[in-house]
């Protein structure tokens, strides 16, 4: 096992009616800016619950954070905060709203051009505190320190991370999932699944706890993911999917193990260029990434084949190829498309995505920096 320091300071309020808890979690006297997306919370009753819970606070709102939150929209919220002196941000939404709020929280107190936080990795020394009401289990953003922001003028989609923007608390009420369109439920399960894979499927370091936690989460998503798409999905199914998605990227399974974020990095470029949903990009790339990297990942692929899909590994090459096929079939079972051609895209994506990767210095990705531009090219071509 590798050395690590681990803390996850986000307090989780999990379960029915927990939105009310925000009244105890936001510091007394705070001036709260409620930030949300395109308005789904106004149609499904979440907005009313938030308003009721904020009755003791002075608060205002900022709506319109879009999927793949843009720098441009976030900066409008920064201006509102600076002119009206808000000192607490309540993010009510999915990964996009939460990521947007993390950037807003840092940009509002940043000395300089906030885009440099993303483009140059400029250091953040301060940020406004954030709380979250999660409406879409997928990204894990509700209890981690990562954020991904897009610049619509330059077609950049870039990540940043700071412990200063980690939410102080997050409310996870599985009932909010009832209004989610099937496409977003599918996206959520796939995104969480790929998060686990990118921390689990690297090379062995004898991290038994992390491996078995990861395998438990993968098995839970394989069991509950298809059920959550059904009209009659139970509260328990929603609860299990929601908690799996949070656990997939809250730092626990990634502590003390090598990590491989190559599928995510290629995926971000695809979204920036063609607007595919984040999880759609992952479902296209991951199977081909595993196939391309099967020598580097051989031992963990065999462990995955055996423990997650219960495959016989006496013929290792067959077991690996079956495990990769079963991964893609799982995505398809969730009605997720797994090829560029399914989205009307062809071989033109290969040079375009590679040019973006090169522009962003993503030329040695993965846990062993083995995913060169040449390999990314092969992965993209094989994914058409």
351 binds ligand NZQ (CB under 6 A): no
CA gap 225, 220 in Å, rounded: 8
User: Should residue 300 be labelled a site residue for ligand NZQ when binding is judged by CB under 6 A?
Assistant: no
Convert 258-286 to b/e letters by CB count within 10 Å (16 or more is b): bebbbbbbbbbbbbbbbebbbbbbbbbbb
Q: Which stretch binds ligand NZQ (CB under 6 A): 75-83, 179-187, 338-346, 357-365?
A: 179-187
Q: What tokens were used for 121?
A: 């990795």
In the set 96, 143, 210, 376, which binds ligand NZQ (CB under 6 A)? 96
CB of 195 to ligand NZQ, least distance (A): 6
Q: At what angle do helices 316-333 and 182-200 cross, to 10 degrees?
A: 150
138: contact with ligand NZQ by CB under 6 A: yes
The residue from 94, 131, 167, 258 that contacts ligand NZQ (CB under 6 A) is 94
Phi, then psi, of 92 in degrees rounded to 5: -120, 100
Q: Which of 70, 93, 160, 247 binds ligand NZQ (CB under 6 A)?
A: 93
The whole-angstrom distance between residue 137's C-alpha and the CA centroid of its chain comes to 9
DSSP one-letter string for 49-114: HHHHHTTTSEEEEE--PPSS-BHHHHHHHHHHHHHHT--EEEEEESHHHHHHHHHHHHHTT-SS-T
179: contact with ligand NZQ by CB under 6 A: yes
Cβ neighbours of 361 (radius 10 Å): 7
Residue nearest to ligand NZQ (CB): 37
Are 270 and 349 in contact by the 8 Å Cβ rule? The answer is yes
Identify the residue whose tokens are 């090219």: 377
Mask for 51-90, x = binds ligand NZQ (CB under 6 A): ----------------xx----------------------
191 touches ligand NZQ by CB under 6 A = yes
Q: How far apart are CA 316 and CA 305, in angstroms?
A: 9
Q: Are 39 and 63 in contact (CB under 8 A)?
A: yes
Cβ proximity to ligand NZQ: between 279 and 320 the closer is 279
**Interface with ligand NZQ includes 287 (CB under 6 A)?**
no
**Which residues from 221-280 bind ligand NZQ, rule CB under 6 A?**
249, 264, 278
Provide, rounded to whole angstroms, the least separation between the CB of residue 250 and ligand NZQ: 9
Candidate segments 35-43, 202-210, 344-352, 364-372, binder of ligand NZQ by CB under 6 A: 35-43
- Looking at the Cβ atoms of 93 and 225, the one nearer to ligand NZQ is 93
Helix (H, G, I), strand (E, B) or coil at 229: coil
Query: Token pair 């006297």 is at which residue?
Result: 29
Q: Does 148 interact with ligand NZQ (rule: CB under 6 A)?
A: yes
Q: How far is the CB of 371 from ligand NZQ (least distance, A)?
A: 17
Q: Kindly give, in sequence order, each residue whose CB lies less than 8 Å from that of residue 113, ignoring residues fewer than 6 positions away.
A: none
- Binding-site size, ligand NZQ (CB under 6 A): 32
Residue 1 · residue 206 · CB < 8 Å = yes
Interface with ligand NZQ includes 37 (CB under 6 A)? yes
Using the rule CB under 6 A, give the single segment among 32-40, 298-306, 335-343, 349-357 that binds ligand NZQ: 32-40
Can you name the residues that pair with 331 across neighbouring β-strands? none
Q: Which is nearer to ligand NZQ, 146 or 331 (CB)?
A: 146
* Minimum CB distance to ligand NZQ, residue 288 (Å): 18
- Which of 146, 193, 330, 331 contacts ligand NZQ by CB under 6 A? 146
Pairing relationship of beta strands 371-372 and 364-365 according to DSSP bridges: antiparallel
Complex with ligand NZQ: residue 247 or 305, whichever CB lies closer = 247
For ligand NZQ, the binding residues (CB under 6 A) are 37-40, 44, 67-68, 93-97, 99, 135-136, 138-141, 144, 146-148, 176, 179-180, 184, 187, 191, 249, 264, 278
């Amino acid at each position: 096992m590798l050395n690590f320091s681990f803390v996850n300071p986000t307090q989780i309020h999990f379960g029915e009616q927990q939105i009310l808890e925000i009244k105890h979690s936001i510091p007394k006297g705070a001036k709260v800016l409620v930030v949300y997306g395109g308005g789904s919370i106004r149609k499904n009753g979440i907005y009313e619950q938030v308003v009721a819970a904020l009755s003791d606070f002075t608060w205002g709102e900022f709506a319109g954070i879009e999927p793949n939150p843009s720098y441009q929209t976030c900066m409008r919220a920064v201006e509102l905060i600076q002119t009206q002196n808000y000192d607490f941000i309540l993010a009510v939404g999915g990964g996009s709203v939460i990521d947007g709020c993390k950037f807003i929280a840092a940009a509002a107190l940043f000395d300089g051009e906030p885009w440099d936080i993303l483009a140059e990795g400029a250091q953040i020394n301060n940020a406004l505190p954030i709380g979250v009401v999660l409406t879409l289990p997928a990204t894990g953003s509700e209890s981690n320190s990562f954020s991904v922001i897009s610049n619509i003028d330059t077609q950049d989609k870039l990540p940043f991370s700071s412990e200063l923007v980690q939410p102080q608390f997050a409310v996870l009420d599985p009932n909010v999932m009832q209004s989610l369109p099937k496409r977003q439920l599918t996206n959520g399960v796939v995104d969480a699944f790929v998060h686990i894979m990118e921390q689990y499927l690297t090379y062995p370091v004898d991290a038994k706890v992390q491996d078995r936690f990861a395998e438990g989460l993968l098995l839970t998503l394989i069991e509950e993911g298809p059920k959550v798409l059904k009209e009659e999905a139970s509260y328990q199914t929603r609860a299990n999917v929601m908690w799996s998605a949070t656990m997939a990227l809250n730092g626990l399974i990634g502590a003390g193990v090598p990590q491989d974020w190559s599928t995510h990095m290629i995926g971000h470029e695809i979204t920036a260029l063609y607007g595919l949903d984040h999880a759609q990009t992952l479902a296209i790339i991951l199977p081909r990434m595993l196939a391309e990297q099967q020598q580097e990942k051989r031992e963990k692929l065999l462990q995955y084949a055996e423990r997650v899909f219960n495959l016989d590994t006496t013929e290792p090459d067959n077991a690996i190829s079956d495990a990769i096929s079963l991964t893609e079939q799982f995505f398809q079972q969730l009605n997720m498309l797994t090829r560029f051609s399914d989205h009307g895209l062809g071989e033109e994506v290969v040079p375009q995505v590679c040019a973006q990767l090169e522009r962003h210095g993503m030329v040695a990705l993965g846990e062993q920096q083995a995913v060169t531009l040449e390999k990314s090219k092969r992965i993209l071509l094989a994914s058409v």
